[in-house]
Structure formats: structure tokens, C-alpha cells
Chains A and B, each alone.
Chain A
Amino acid sequence: MDNTVIVIGGGISGLTAAGMLAQQGLDVTLLEKENETGGHLARWDRLFPDRKKASEVLDFAMEGLNKVKIVTGVAITGISRQDHEFTVSTNLRDSGYGMQDAGYQSPVPSPQSPVPSTQSPVPSPQSQYTASALLVATGFDLFEARKKEEYGYGIYNNVITSADLEEQFKSGRKVLTSEGKTPGRIGFIHCVGSRDEKVGNLYCSKICCVTGVKQAIELKEMFPESEVFNFYMDLRMFDRHFEELYYEAQQKWGVSFIRGRLSECSENPDGSIILKTEDTLTGKPLKMTVDLLVLLSGFVPSGGTRGISKMLGLQEGTDGFINSADQHSQNNLSGIEGVFLAGAIKGPISVSESVADARAAAAQIACYLSSFKVTND
């Protein structure tokens, strides 16, 4: 066993862990399937609860990465193991083999990409990487909101998701309706694709409540004249400063909260959206027209994880996320020796938790590689 580690997945979890490990003198390779690292965090503008810029959080994570070998744009095609050594085989992702001869070049990182281009060695179309430990940090996917057809995403132009909205914020443009108007009334729908037997997801995505509150505030900031309504079943303000954000949304920004789940919506000829829900607190069905409807899409197990999970034989829970060996004290162990887990691969999680989890995983890997076993396996 040497001191080599492969981190699969370059989201905030993978990046943080890779940095921690490299700083401890380990030899770290990070494999990311996209052309850029950063994962979902790279798509968000400002983070709850304190509205810190997501890019700052990413920049911080990047600081420790100068010693990490980062390979982007790869597809992992196989993982094999011999004794204590893992071999990970990769292909170039959307290029295909022939591309190399046709003058294929490593994807040029975009200007705001946190990865300095010098760190991206041009990967050959097929490569193999070996290491003594694997960290799987392949994250989550966003729930495909089109699956809730009755919510009209992909059908009505003024129905968007929280991720769309986040990207809109990031672009710095004003958020307008599809008709180019300032939205006078905006609705947020909680629990889209989460806590919903009808899409097969019973779990709570945990971060969408607070995301909804944060985005409601941001829209009020942008359009003080607008009315913003959040439709929720339960408001899960689970972490420090979250409840205060909720308080602020009511007190300072006048965001309204209606306890009722959207059953379906339809579109007016002018493009505005009619919501149907029940105001469960008055016990009456409620109809409301909004100019913009934001669906707070939840987490689903990532497609990228599924492939890796099959190759390694990771334990999938009934919800599709990966189970750790023990949720309390071995939450970074996969149950397979030398394979570790970090971040949203194990279910919905916030950035601060991802960072903490990634560091815990890094510490655990360092222990493992120095044969200092924290567990009895």
C-alpha cells in the first residue's frame, strides 16, 4: 500500500477532500467527468444562509489543489482491484477515440473556471490510474422537473426551477417572465420531486426549503414591488441561521408562506400561471395567478454515481443514494475496503456539510493509508 488516492468527482466534496489529502503529502488524482470542476456549486450564485458567493467557496477549495493531478472530461470505464491497488480506466468523454488524432485538445477551461489550465494535463483517450484508496464523491443530480407534468415545467414558459433561477442570478441579468415583463407575483413550490410517492422519491431533499426562502428574498430584493409566495408542506429550517433567514423573509421582505402543496397548474393566454392548491390552514382550496413559478427541484441519486456504484458494488439504499457502512460513526466508509464516500452521493446535503464530510473522509483516508485503522475492518 502506497500513498496514492484517486478522487472521483470534482464537486465541492471531491475538491475539498483532494486538497486536504494533497496537503498531507499524499499523491492525489482527481477524475471529473465534466470539462470543469466545481459540480453543482459552480452553477449557484449565492449560498444560503449568508448569501456568500458560491465562487468564493469554490476558490477557497481550489487553494489547496496545486499538488493534485486533476483530469477533467473523462468517462470512467472500469475499476479493477488487485490486493490493495485499484486501477481506474478512463476514456475521453464526449470526444471519442478518433478525436485525439483529429487534433483533439484538452477542454479549455472557461475564464471563470477555478482550474488553472496548466494543471490539466492533456489526457490520452484511454488512460489508467492506480491508487491504494478511492474516494467516491460523485454527488447528486437535480430532479427532472418535467416528470411532474402537472406542474408544467417544459410546457409553460413561465415555470422554471430553482436551478434555472440560480443560473439567472449568476448571469447578473434581471429575472423576467417569458414575455419580458417584470414578474408582479411569484410563486415558489416546495418539495418538487421530493417527498413524493408519485415520482418514487419519499425522502426530503433538505436544502430546498431554505433555498426557496433564500431565493424568495433575492427576488424581493430585485423587485421590491412584487409579491412572493412560498407553498410548502413543512418548512425545514434545519441548520444554524436558517430559521432566522425565514424570519427575515417574513419580517423584512414580506414573503408570504402558504401551507399547501400544488396539485396542478395551468396557463392563462397571457402566459401567467394559475396555481391550484389548498390553503390547509384555512381549509379552503386556493387558486392563484402568478407571473413566474419557481419549482424547488430536489436531489436525486446521480447518474454518474450509478455506473461507479455498479463497478464497485456499492450499497444502494431504497432511495437510490449510496449507503455508508454506518450512518453514525463510519459515514465515510463504503463497506468496501479502500473505498470511501463523501458528499451528496449519500443523499441531500448542504455545502457546509459537504465540506465537513469531505474533510472527514480525507482524514479517514489518511488514517487508512498510514495503516492506522479507526475501524475494526
Chain B
Amino acid sequence: MIDFGYTLTRDRQLDYDRGDFRYLKLVKSLEPSMDLCIGCGSCTATCSAAGFTNFNIRRLHTVIRRGDPESIKAELKKCMFCGKCQLVCPRGVNLRNLILAMNRAIEILG
């Protein structure tokens, strides 16, 4: 790539200090169990939607936690809401409600 001295794409790193934590706050208030996630990936592994397309539910709720919720808006729409993810989560995260809550946050915060 030619170096123009500036970049059109966002930073590749998570800039935690400039993160957008409004989603986290709202989603967490709607589904507190999101804090229990240990990132095991079972939810993504079992996911019905992930069987057909590039969709990673674990990543979606992780990026919210990291203050980088940009990508979730387009991604979340792929969820079929089947609830398999919730059935395998070893931490008892209420994933279906978490997904609802994330949808809600998108609705409210844009």
C-alpha cells in the first residue's frame, strides 16, 4: 500500500481509552449475565447461523465489552434466535436475552 501519511481505515488496534462503552452499559443493565463469559467459544461453535455464514456470536458480545461495537450492527441480523448457544454456554450466560439486549441497544443508541 502507498503511504499517504494518513489512513482511511480505522485503527487496527482497540483503543480502549477512546472506546464506546455506552452499549456495554446498556446491554449489561438488560442482561447482567454477559459478564460471566469466559470466551470459550461454545456458543459460536454450536450456532445455527454460523453453520451457514461467517457469524460469530462470541465475538459480537466480546467487542461490546471492549468498547468497539461498530461491527455488531450488521452482524447481529444474522442470528436466527434458535437458542442453541444458550443451551451450551458453560457459564450460564443468557445468550438469547443478551442478543435481544444487543438489538435493543442498537435500536436505542443507533
A and B touch in the complex (CB under 8 A): yes
Chain A residues with CB under 8 Å of chain B are 150, 191, 195-198, 233-234, 259-264, 276-280, 283-286
Q: Quick one: closest B residue to A197, CB to CB?
A: B92
Q: Which residues of chain B from 45 to 90 have any CB-CB distance to chain A below 8 Å in the complex?
A: 45-47, 50-51, 56, 58-59, 87-90
Q: Given A195-B90, A264-B88, A284-B56, are A233 and B40 also a contact pair (CB < 8 Å)?
A: yes
A–B pairs, 19, beta carbons within 8 Å: A195-B38, A196-B90, A197-B90, A197-B91, A198-B89, A259-B41, A260-B42, A261-B41, A261-B42, A262-B45, A263-B45, A276-B45, A277-B42, A277-B45, A280-B58, A283-B56, A283-B58, A284-B56, A285-B44
Contacts of B51 in A (CB 8 A): 285
Q: Given A283-B56, A284-B56, A285-B50, are A278 and B44 also a contact pair (CB < 8 Å)?
A: yes
Cβ of B39 under 8 Å from chain A: yes
Q: How many residues of B contact A (CB 8 A)?
A: 21
Q: Given A261-B45, A263-B46, A285-B50, are A278 and B88 also a contact pair (CB < 8 Å)?
A: no
Let me know if A278 and B45 touch, CB within 8 A. yes
Let me know if B46 and A276 touch, CB within 8 A. yes
Q: Given A233-B40, A280-B58, are A260 and B45 also a contact pair (CB < 8 Å)?
A: yes
Q: Give, as a whole number of angstroms, the nearest-CB distance from B47 to chain A.
A: 7
How far is A284 from B57 in the complex, measured between Cα atoms in Å? 10
Q: Give, as a whole number of angstroms, the nearest-CB distance from A197 to chain B.
A: 4
How far is A195 from B59 in the complex, measured between Cα atoms in Å? 21
How far is A198 from B41 in the complex, measured between Cα atoms in Å? 15
Contacts of A198 in B (CB 8 A): 87-90, 92
Q: Given A197-B89, A260-B45, are A283 and B50 also a contact pair (CB < 8 Å)?
A: no
Q: Give, as a whole number of angstroms, the nearest-CB distance from A138 to chain B.
A: 28
Let me know if B40 and A286 touch, CB within 8 A. no
